[in-house]
Amino acid sequence: MLAIEIELLTGRYAATAHNDRGRAEWPPHPARFFSALVAALHDHEEADRAERAALLWLEQQSAPALRVDPESRVGTRQVQDVYVPVNDVTLGGDAGLSRTEWADAFAMQKKKVNDKLAKADAKLREESQKNPDSDACKKAKKDLAKAQRELAKDGFSDVDLGTSVALMPDRRTRQVRTFPVVIPETPSFAFLWRDADATEHRAALERLCARVTRLGHSSSLVRCNVVDRDISPTLVPSDDGDTTLRVIGAHQVERLEQAFAYHEGWQPRVLPARPQRYRSASEVAAPTAHAESVFSADWVVFERVGGSRPVSSRSTDLARALRGALLEQHADKSLPAALSGHAESAPTEQPHVAFVPLPFVGHEHADGAIMGCALVLPRQLPTSDRETLLRLVARWEKERSDKRGNLTLAGGSLPPYTVRRVDVSAKRSLSPELWCRASTRFITATPIALDKNPGNLRSNRDGTARKAALEAQHSISDACLRVVGVRPVSVEVSLAPLLPGAQHVREFLPWPGRPGRTPRVRVHADICFEKSVQGPLLLGAGRYFGLGLCLPVEDR
């Protein structure tokens, strides 16, 4: 077994949660620690081969267990917005120059001004000999005076001088930052690879650990040691766990190095990682006690990075654009039914991949904007079909993305929408954990397109609306039975949104919106089950295209 123990020298852990800037990360994520080891590897100008080999070996190991109590903490520091000066512009940012490049640019600019001064002086001499009172001579004098003024500024323009003034700390612009902190009861924790034999790489790992001085924020000082004693885990990897941490996979060292070559330490970045569920080691391994959706937490996530900013009422347009972009990569059009949704030119009855735009809803400041989209894989998807899907995604990225890996979705009346595939997003709306957690209550983020017409929900005659609402509730109950295997104990329907940021049903385009097809009645719903149900919950006729997306909520 390989065990690495981390001691918090100040008794505090300062690290921001990847999906909530106002919350501290706890327990510490294995991917963050591995990133610290890679940073230690590159402390020297030339990386040590043995140390690099040790990290390449470590990235091949399975996700580690942890010795940490996720609930035991003395306290957390109240998060306040802090406005801090931006970085020195000569280190990056809009200027994008290193100090060496800045000095080279300074010398080059000064040489240009000296050349301009020499040419202006020669021109003035030439025109003075011809006619000292000519317009050409007067213009030459003005050009010479201008070059002399630029030389007095050390060869830089007014814009350059303004940039130089901006280097002063009191002149730099301020940006808001938060510094969430956790103070655990026990100021130490450990990562445990229980099946790993690190004998060959132990010395290299010890050297790397000795050079790791912080984890998270620079104020979070640590001491790392490879230990020999037996340590019992408190958190272990488990597909049915309730805690999700970021872990690493193959080629993680290379991915971190490539990411650094792109952001160079000053651009915004997202740590390359994959999500892994964990459960308490004290829990008895047993079959899942709650019903499960036919859809899984295995998602391929695309984050919005530019282009238009549509709201959830455009979900179906965006879902169709995503599906079309992927199917375009498969020229022979013989995709498995689990990916295309069709078997022999007819819709398949089996669960298949859903194309789901993910809106910002459920928060007091939510505006319903689509933050990105995801390919949501069915729980029983065959391995071969999953590999085919990932090959399509890889081909799409290779053939259609720009240098930064950005892809553009467009189609019909949808304005261009730019996305980039991410393993883990800092935006909470794009976290599978948000939509896939178990709950007894779900509320629609996008309305459900009912399988049957319930009648007129807006009528004021003879209880017509009431009868239609009962039919809608029964239709949603049937939809729940198909997707999670159990019926809810209560369903409340509404035409108005029930979550902050969600859109009224009238804002959504008719579904399916095809010539000759009768539009489905759509409703929002508040759905309660007797026992917890494992999401994601996608209901109704449009569930494979972003309709009927439900958010698990706490019982109130």
Chain segment 1-49, per-residue pLDDT in tens: 899 999 999 988 988 887 766 678 888 999 999 999 999 999 877 889 9
- 109 pLDDT above the threshold of 70: no
Indicate the helix (H) or strand (E) that contains 522: strand 522-534
- 206 pLDDT above the threshold of 80: yes
Q: For residue 95, name the pLDDT band (cuts at 50, 70, 90).
A: very low
Mean pLDDT of 535-555: 90
486 φ, ψ (degrees, to nearest 5): -140, 155
pLDDT at 110: 67
Mean pLDDT of 52-66: 93
Q: What percent of the chain has pLDDT over 90?
A: 40
Nearest to 3 by CA among 24, 33, 42, 32: 33
Q: For residue 287, name the pLDDT band (cuts at 50, 70, 90).
A: very low
Distance CA 186, CA 224 (A): 15
Rounded to two decimals, what is the model's pTM? 0.60
Is-cis flag, bond preceding 359, omega within 30? no
User: Using an 8 Å Cβ cutoff, are 32 and 246 in contact?
Assistant: yes
Task: Tell me whether residue 465 is exposed, middle or buried, using C-beta atoms within 10 angstroms of its C-beta: 0 to 12, 13 to 18, 19 or more.
Answer: middle
- 363 pLDDT above the threshold of 50: yes
- Give the start-to-end residue ranges of the domains of the chain: 2-80+184-286, 90-174, 292-552
* Average pLDDT across the chain, whole number: 83
**CATH class of the domain defined by 2-80+184-286:** alpha beta
